[in-house]
Amino acid sequence: MAEGGFKVTYATISSDNEEMVKRYQEGIEKAKSWLGKDYPFYVNGQERNGGGRAEERSPIDNDIIIGHFAQATIEDARDAVAAAKEAYPQWSQTPWQDRVEILRHAADLISERVFELGALTALEVGKNQLEALGEVEEAADLIRYYCHQMEEHDGFSVPMGQLSEEEKTRSVLRPYGVWAVISPFNFPIALSAGPVGGALAAGNTVVLKPSEQGFGIALKLYEILHEAGVPAGVVHVLTGPGETVGQALHQNPDVAGLTFTGSYEVGMKIYRNITKDWPKPVIVEMGGKNPAIVSAKADLDKATDGVLRSAFGYSGQKCSACSRVLVQRPVYDDFVAQLVAKTKETNVGNPLEAGVYVGPVIDAAAVERFESASAQAGEEGRVIAGGARIQKDELARGNFVEPTVVEVPIDSGVWRDELFVPLVAVHPVDSLEQAWELANDTPYGLTAGFYSEDRAEVDRFLNNVEAGVVYVNRRAGATTGAWPGIQPFGGWKGSGNSGKAGGGLYYVQLYMREQSQTIVED
């Protein structure tokens, strides 16, 4: 928790805490001092410069250079895996209590630096103040929760039954070896720290390959891990292109396991290819086309608040974003009118400023995807609110688009495809049974939301929805806002393969394998 006694989570709605705003402004100044520099990556604790540098610019203002980041090569990736493999025996045999102590220290350092790390996250990927601070706190809490799970289960060593008095058996969960983590741009510190923390707590060594839009915050995480006491050979970070460095990791036979968060297409490619030599554990967390269902018995003020926050939070660039809303016909017109009115009042602007809710999308490709989807919606249905790029004043230098509400046929690509932009489609339904069917009619199964004041309807929703994370009557977010130890986050169907959720009861065990140890003492 940050100094001052407050803690920001994804359910935090207001940024009117004066002390928080003041500290965040100080964090912005600190983060700005890091901008525009040349940055190496790290293999075995040593700086490397790889094969040239790539420039990363801010989506807030394309004139802002985040940094010039060294580009790791295939050889650098091989070296990192080799060093991690060499460090594995000592780290895996380090008592789990000692590993937990180091990682708890890292989590505390993250929380202590929440304002500067939050500001860097905002500058680098365009998150608003609350979302940026919330993500940094989530990163710390993910590490803490996995440490808690190790403690709660006494390092996952359990005595078993006996066939004789001389024979004693234990079931022990042991690490795999070198674990690769490929993290996304939209949660560049939380979805690096979470899997890295889980893998390290379990006793694996780690090679982290962050998104090309998120190199800066990943390097700060690396620095904190080493400052906390993680040995040099135990964790490595490679800043480089996914098509070479990422591929070099998932094709390396010495990588024992891998966590990927990103698109369905890339995730499925990794899932199919990593096990070509023998079965390996791979955790792929992929996209979502997340529905919210609004009953005729819903509180529409609550429902429109929840849908808006989930559809437009971080400019729709969360895999959990609400992108489809199914509304029972008797309340459809009122729901749409309220949602549109609130959408038009939503504050869009520079996310470094307090009170701004919607910042930019990540890059020019996202702007093009937004414009294409808006045009398609206008041709196939109607654009009810928004639909255009924002090119006024200083926002013209960034990647800003309007929060958008559309009505399209259910066979439209706008309705069916994950877009990762601030665009939500609405559609009327005649019954809740029709809503369940349409909500589940997608290859994805990540999150879903429901609004009704009728408990029997709520129970029917919970029994019928096909998603790993579900929320009912949640004003803070219809489909978004999971938190470690509170709402485990993981997808079904094409949204994830493990059946276990990050920040949940069973996640850290994914980084370990069971060994039955029988000792006979005559």
One-letter identity of residue 326: L
- Residues 426 and 336 sit within 8 Å (Cβ to Cβ): yes
Grouping H, G, I as helix, E, B as strand and the rest as coil, residue 300 is: helix
- Residues 214 and 188 sit within 8 Å (Cβ to Cβ): yes
- Residues 493 and 445 sit within 8 Å (Cβ to Cβ): yes
Distance of alpha carbon 98 from alpha carbon 397, whole angstroms: 48
Structure-derived torsion over alpha carbons of residues 27, 32, 33, 36, reported in degrees to the nearest 10 = 150
Distance of alpha carbon 414 from alpha carbon 408, whole angstroms: 7
- Residues 24 and 133 sit within 8 Å (Cβ to Cβ): yes
In the chain, the largest separation of any two C-alpha atoms, in whole Å, equals 83
The verdict on whether 319 is a catalytic residue reads yes
Q: Which two tokens stand for residue 54?
A: 């790539």
The verdict on whether 345 is a catalytic residue reads no
| Options 137, 285, 407, 457, the catalytic residue | 285
Q: Which two tokens stand for residue 293?
A: 């269902």
Which string of DSSP letters, residue by residue, matches 54-80? EEEE-SS-TT-EEEEEEB--HHHHHHH
Distance of alpha carbon 305 from alpha carbon 193, whole angstroms: 30
Distance of alpha carbon 465 from alpha carbon 450, whole angstroms: 10
CA-CA-CA-CA torsion sign (459, 465, 469, 474) = negative
One-letter identity of residue 423: L
Tell me the H-state helices in 229-283.
247-250, 264-273
Q: Supply the Cα-derived Rg of the chain in whole angstroms.
A: 23
| Options 147, 319, 322, 402, the catalytic residue | 319
Which 8-state DSSP code applies to residue 421?
S
Q: Which residues are designated catalytic? A: 285, 319
